[in-house]
Amino acid sequence: MEQRIGFIGLGNMGCAILQGIIASQSVPASQFYVYDIHPENGEKLKANYEVYVMESAKEVAKEADIVFIAVKPNNINDVLSEIQKELKKSTVVVSVAAGITIKMIEAVIGYDQKIIRVMPNTPALVNSAMCSLTPNTEVTPEELLAVRALLNCIGLTEVLPEYQVHSATGVGGSGPAFVFMFIEALADGAVKGGMTRRQAYKFAAQTVMGSAKLMLETGKHPGELKDMVCSPGGITIEGVQELEQNTFRAAVMDAVEACINRSKQLSGEK
């Protein structure tokens, strides 16, 4: 039987995952049942894809075999309470809400419900997401595989123990924001040197993408790849020294640590 996939919350992340899966052509749009509190978000999707736009979160829960919940963390309890009675025992609930633990979800929908906590990121929109998955004990290996297969349509996945989700949030969930800041800064530097802004963004974005690809495809250590760029007595090593003097790496580590701390706070650990 065809799997029915529900989405509750069609904002940045819900749409990124949903559109990413549809774009990968692995699952037809007609298998998706979606709802957002703002009807225009469903209508916008419907204009482009043959998804079923439902009238409520309850209706999505009734239909779906796997239901993604992609509302903000402060809205998730309302959604879970609303759908709790509609969920079948076999329904797999997938939450992408940052800082919301499996225990917090179980406390609302029941300890015998199948739950997978996922930490995705917005590059899902272009099939380049990095997602972590953490199942509760009710989820079978086959069910985990089925959800992982969906997320593999939109990028790379790793199964993680829940205590590591804070790190996955800092490096994966929040990471794109830091990377975009880096791209902006790289481009600003080039503009300062006289390049047009349009060209500077193209050079900066392609350079970041190419560098990431080079590391993933060669499996080489980032330090080795950095060394390959730095000619002795050459140009790049001058820039490397500037970044080190400006504590670039410590600043990035601090940013990830700040996200980890906030994630722990949302989870009630701090």
Ligand X SMILES: NC(=O)C1=CN([C@@H]2O[C@H](COP(=O)(O)OP(=O)(O)OC[C@H]3O[C@@H](n4cnc5c(N)ncnc54)[C@H](OP(=O)(O)O)[C@@H]3O)[C@@H](O)[C@H]2O)C=CC1
Ligand Y SMILES: O=C(O)[C@@H]1CCC=N1
Least CB distance to ligand Y at residue 257 (A):
14
Least CB distance to ligand Y at residue 117 (A):
13
Least CB distance to ligand Y at residue 110 (A):
26
Name the closest residue to ligand X (Cβ).
Answer: 11
Residues near ligand X, by CB under 6 A: 8-14, 35-38, 41, 57, 70-73, 75, 78-79, 96-98, 119-122, 173
Looking at the Cβ atoms of 77 and 240, the one nearer to ligand X is 77
Binder of residue 129, out of ligand Y, ligand X, none (CB less than 5 to 8 A by kind): none
Residues near ligand Y, by CB under 6 A: 98, 169, 173-174
Looking at the Cβ atoms of 102 and 190, the one nearer to ligand X is 102
Q: Are 29 and 50 in contact (CB under 8 A)?
A: yes
Looking at the Cβ atoms of 13 and 104, the one nearer to ligand X is 13
Least CB distance to ligand X at residue 235 (A):
35
Looking at the Cβ atoms of 153 and 171, the one nearer to ligand X is 171
